[in-house]
Structure 1
Amino acid sequence: MTSSSDLAVVRRAGRIAALQASLALTAVLLLVGAVIFLVDGQVQKQQIADQLTSVVGTADDVTDPPPGMQLVLRDLAGETSASADGLPTAELLGREPGFSDIRIGDESYRVLVADRPEGRVVALLALKSYEASRNRLLLALGAAELAGILASVGVVVLLTRRSLRPLTEALALQRRFVADASHELRAPLTVLHTRIQLLARRFDDGDAHRAKEQIEALAADTRVLGEVIEDLLASASMASKGVPRDRVDVADLAEDVRASMSEHAASAGVTLAVNRDADAATAFVVLGSAAALRRALTSLVDNALAHEHAGGSIEICLRRRGPNVVIDVRDDGVGVDPDAMEGLFARFSHGHAHTAAGGRERYGIGLALVREIAVAHHGDISVAQTPGGGATFTLTLAAAPPG
């Protein structure tokens, strides 16, 4: 899983990206709304001008002005007439020719003053209906803008979260791989360290034969370490591509693990043995990945060593249970806290009753890896208290068909 700092960085980047995208979309929507409002205002202004120009050009009296309009006329003799009482005829007739605005009472008017051969004509158009239309347009634009902004913010936030999800998952996989690699490499490196110490003693004792044996064992362990590294690199694709379907003799695998870790166990004063209750050569053959299953057994033995005491013993017991091969890794150490059993195979979950951990911190990853390997092989892993003390981890795998 990703650390809190990584998640904080990703989330902060997501919030910033969402905010920037939302602000950009908001600016675009506001600009579009402003353009629509301005264009509508220009269209209305032109409509008003055309209507006033048409009336001024054809009016010959004030008796029947168009709806929403008023007329004021002055002939060449100086006689004035108006279409309604209360109009400021003198002020209107005294204006310069052209368009202007005036407010009479509670009404706003657009005014056009024009001189004709017959005299001066003043046409007034009430703006109330146009102002109401513009207010309705402004309200509709505001509602549309608000809805658009809210919708855009929601869409941007959703898309940003979805786009950042692969990054979050990549960070989680990266940290998970680092944690798995750190855990899985620790056990073989400890074995290598033990062998190097023993090798140094053989040289000090002048025992060339035993030193040669230790060198060969050291070379074998380095090969195992290389296999662990290669398997870790391939583990990310195990779930999607599936594990190999090779025929693996778990009995031979258990002997390899015992041989690899016996020196390390002996240095802690612990006996490591393999027992099996069947004689058939194919009794313990399964289909899967030898490297992955070796990882699982090594992790179980390493976990048992961490809970053992000097003078204790660890057994890798193989048996058949119907169509299944069952591998028990049994120790007589401090056992397992019953309250911790439920979450023992969860990643980063671990017990606290370590005895042979050598003072190093344990991250509770090995047992989670064992469970993943078991599931990938269509098997199961469980734990129970060993009668008389200690713990027994049981790995169950389907036996391979004869072939």
Structure 2
Amino acid sequence: MAKRNSLTAFLHPFRKHKPAKQGQTDAALFSRVRVQLTLWYGAVLALALLLLGVGLYVGVANSLYSPVQSDLENTARFSAQFWQQQGLANCPLNFANRPSGRFNSPPGGDNGPDGPRRNVLIYTACYDPSGTLLAGGDGVTNNTSVLPGAFTDAGLAKALLNSTDTSKSDVVDGGTQFGPIYRYAVAVTLPTGQKVILQLGRSVADSQSALDSLRNMLILLGVITLVVATIGGFFLAQRALRPTRQAFARQQTFIADASHELRTPLTILKADAEVLLRSRENFDSDDAELLDDIVVETDRLTGLATNLLELARLDANQLYIEQEVFDLGDVTGEVVHRLKNLADTKEVSLHLESSDKVLILADSQLFEQVILILLDNAVKYTPKGGSVTATVGVLNDQPYLRVKDTGIGISPEHLPNLGKRFYRVDKARARETGGSGLGLSLAFSIVKAHAGNLVLTSQVNEGTTATLTLPPFRLIHLTGEPGAPAQTVVS
């Protein structure tokens, strides 16, 4: 101990204080929850807007295309009857008494408020049983050369020839000159038994333009609504979480106050029992055993209260870390010496491997507590005849402490939960050993507050290894060759 104190005094300029960062972690926790709530709200709203937009778009598209399809179906029905009567060579290019092939021109003309409306051409194409184009026209010029290439493409006709359907329809792009074209094809059976295809079509550029405008408007309104609603949801989530944060703060205050208040009566109770035990000969053996139990249980409760108090301070960002330079090997050796009696009682071999100094910048008391937690757990859960080895060194410029035991081990499904408070793998065994489920949680919190890392690995019936590492500092090689892992010291 004197050696450790002299080292600390020599390196006094390196000592400094800093608050633990656990409180910042809690604030970050609520921030993450708020962000997650906002993202979930935004995702649900985006899905609702998407479904609504798609439904509206499909509904409007159907309302615009339905009259076109209905008119083409009616025209195709009468044109097919004509073709059946006239034979394969007489494709009905100018049918249904439509002047100049115009579409839907009512008697007397089609006049709107601004004058005659533009009539829409019907494109007609006839295909033989092999899907080859026989003839076509637009009602004005009966020549396939005036038809859009997209319309005369035989894909729709051949698909209908190779199916049992009586009709098919689609929309193709006729380019900038013709725009989108709605095609409707119907199968016609001639008196000779031949199956031919009559295909009609018309431009739906106006309808598609309206749909494009609707789509762009829906996207714009959806994005604006989503952004505004998400920002509003972020602030609403903050207000909704306020009672939870207040309750969490009150819980932390209660735990800290209760733990602090419990320590005094527990200390008095233990002191009274120890005073009585000085006169053990005046008591019956049963009474003396009860006093021994009181001392043991008050120690356990005092440790539990201390752990709760320190965890509450970490949560509230009220635990200040006194950073000083000390030898990790010396502190580990002191803890090993303190646990020797417990290890000997259980007939467990406990020893330390540390050949040279490994200086770290940390809170020595807190780290002593972490080391005690790790070694105490290792000894308690190692059966008779087993061993516990604490190794101190530097690897990859990082100081480390490794506690390896040959104990009962831990199942893989329990390892991710070992840092959670009050979590115990085996509740019955924990009661036997006096475990509360807070030790490892406190150890993880202290190591994290020092920007370190604590990793547990285990194999059932083979043992557990706890590896504590700290971030690298300025390296000083005090002894041995530079680069030797056991001889590199961090300050």
Could you say which TM-score interval applies, normalised by the shorter chain? Answer: 0.3 to 0.5
Q: Which has the larger radius of gyration?
A: 1
TM normalised by structure 1 equals 0.44
